[in-house]
Amino acid sequence: MARRKVSIGKRGPLKVRRRKRFQEQAKCRFCRDKVQEVDYKDIPVLSKLTTQQGKIFSRKRSGNCAKHQRSVKRAIKRARFLALMPFVS
């Protein structure tokens, strides 16, 4: 649950603020498209799953299931090895 922060003024509590959370999606993007294995040659998709520094986004941040997150990890490492993607920017 999100924690609430209450601002207290002279006359008592003023506002109740809630923290923002990641919005949960129903399914992984690869499960929705019924992709079996993520292709290492699909650079536009793989670049959306990495930061500007070249780090791979976590499952929570990217919204992938465990199976496809492992597949993404392998695809990014293969693309880096073949010089299709940079190791760092």
What CATH code is carried by the domain that includes residue 36? 4.10.640.10
Residue numbers of the domain that contains 49:
25-89
Q: Which of 15, 24, 20 is nearest to 59 (CA)?
A: 24
Domain annotation covers residue 6: no
Identify the residue with better confidence: 16 or 72.
Answer: 72
Residue 84 lies in a domain: yes
Q: Is residue 86 one of the residues assigned to a domain?
A: yes
Mean pLDDT of 67-82: 96
Asked, for residue 87, whether it belongs to a domain, the answer is: yes
Beta-ladder partners of 13: 8
- How many domains, the chain? 1
Alpha-carbon dihedral angle through residues 54, 78, 46, 32, given to the nearest 10 degrees: -140
35 within a domain of the structure (yes/no): yes
- The answer to whether residue 57 is domain-embedded is yes
Q: What is the pLDDT of residue 16?
A: 65
Per cent of the chain over pLDDT 70 is: 73
